[in-house]
Amino acid sequence: MTEPAAYQQAPVCPRHPDRVSYVSCQRCGRPVCPECQRPAAVGVQCVDCVRESARTTRMPRTQLGGRVTDGRPVVTLTIIGVCVAVWLLQQVSPSVTGDYAFVPAYGQAQPYRFLTAAFLHGPIFHIGFNMYALWVVGSYLEPLLGRMRFAALYFVCAIGGSVGSLLLATPSVDGRASWVTASVGASGAVFGLFGALLVLNRHLGRPTGGIWVILLINAAIGFAPGIAWQAHLGGFLTGVVCSLLLVATAGQSRRRWQLPLLAAVLVLVVAAAAVKYAGVAPQFLPA
């Protein structure tokens, strides 16, 4: 027997049983109190349905598998900010450059130099050109690749640049030789981004004419004292290899292999450095 309407129990919010609510979720139909209501295209939805929708809805992706963002190059801006902060520290404490620059002779005993050198710079025009180039190419590549893939590409290329300097250096105790000469700059990583940009734009059918001007300017800077053109070459080749792998795995079913493949490139780059050091006589490797 149905109870009279006057005695039917008032609807309450499932998440807050002490709150009566005559508003229902448009998706599940359950009562929803003001605290649990979320605006929807029509009416409101409860927080549980909103979470379930977010979990099951596929996030939009770029052509190369990156998650679509608002376009703000957060990783690029962060790297630029760190480089500028480190450059200012170099001006206050010049010893920072010597302690963290990449020197082939010291790389085995102090492997952190392979990466830290990418955040150090020489004169103001050096950091100025590098950060401008990073801003230009990073603002384009980061939204295309997604933040995580872009960051991985940048750091692998930075290390690849230092390894390029190592592989092309001849062991020597001569103070003017590349084996014991310090090199600094984000150029190796930036040249890696250049290489990646050329490959990716070719894959996407987009023009690359404008990037050649920046590429040539940075190539010319590579002949300045303390800046190794070998790092430019190493970074560039690393970026080309990484981007070829990203292109090969751009399909939706293969995107899960992109980050592992970039990690594999890093392993190969480190292995190349290890092989180089294995063939160097002990007198050329200070502790």
The CATH number that applies at residue 100 is: 1.20.1540.10
- 244 and 274: one domain? yes
Could you tell me if residue 104 is inside a domain? yes
Across the chain, mean pLDDT equals 86
- 34 and 174: one domain? no
Q: What is the predicted pLDDT for the residue at 71?
A: 67
| Cβ neighbours, 10 Å, residue 285 | 16
- 40 and 144: one domain? no
pTM over 0.85: no
Q: What is the predicted pLDDT for the residue at 262?
A: 96
Residue with tokens 């150090």: 120
- 149 and 50: one domain? no
Q: What is the predicted pLDDT for the residue at 208?
A: 72
Q: What is the predicted pLDDT for the residue at 79?
A: 97
Could you tell me if residue 61 is inside a domain? no
Could you tell me if residue 17 is inside a domain? yes
Q: Among 23-37, 148-162, 258-272, name the one with the lowest average pLDDT.
A: 23-37
- 133 and 249: one domain? yes
Q: Among 1-10, 26-35, 139-148, name the one with the lowest average pLDDT.
A: 1-10
Evaluate whether 214 touches 232 at the Cβ level (below 8 Å).
Answer: no
The residue range of the domain holding 35 is 10-56
- 267 and 135: one domain? yes
Distance of CA 253 to the CA centre of its chain: 22
Compute the average pLDDT of residues 273-286. Answer: 91
Could you tell me if residue 2 is inside a domain? no
Please state, in angstroms and rounded to a whole number, the distance separating the CA atoms of residues 208 and 244.
Answer: 16
- 51 and 94: one domain? no
- 122 and 248: one domain? yes
Residue 66 confidence (pLDDT) above 70: no
Comparing 17 with 243, the larger pLDDT belongs to 243
- 113 and 205: one domain? yes
Compute the average pLDDT of residues 6-26. Answer: 81
Compute the average pLDDT of residues 254-281. Answer: 94
- 191 and 240: one domain? yes
Q: What is the predicted pLDDT for the residue at 256?
A: 87
Q: Which residues contact 261 (CB under 8 A, 6 or more apart)?
A: 245, 246, 249
Could you tell me if residue 67 is inside a domain? no
Residue with tokens 């792998």: 245
Q: What is the predicted pLDDT for the residue at 204?
A: 82
Positions marked active-site: 187, 232
Structural domain total, the chain: 2
Measured between alpha carbons, how far apart are the two ends of the chain, in Å?
91
Using 50, 70 and 90 to split pLDDT, how confident is the model at 56? low
Comparing 41 with 50, the larger pLDDT belongs to 50
- 206 and 239: one domain? yes
Comparing 117 with 181, the larger pLDDT belongs to 117
Q: What is the predicted pLDDT for the residue at 223?
A: 64
- 220 and 119: one domain? yes
Q: What is the predicted pLDDT for the residue at 225?
A: 57
Using 50, 70 and 90 to split pLDDT, how confident is the model at 196? very high
Could you tell me if residue 65 is inside a domain? no
Residue 217 confidence (pLDDT) above 60: yes
Using 50, 70 and 90 to split pLDDT, how confident is the model at 18? confident
Q: What is the predicted pLDDT for the residue at 12?
A: 87
Q: Which of 252, 245, 272 is nearest to 152 (CA)?
A: 245
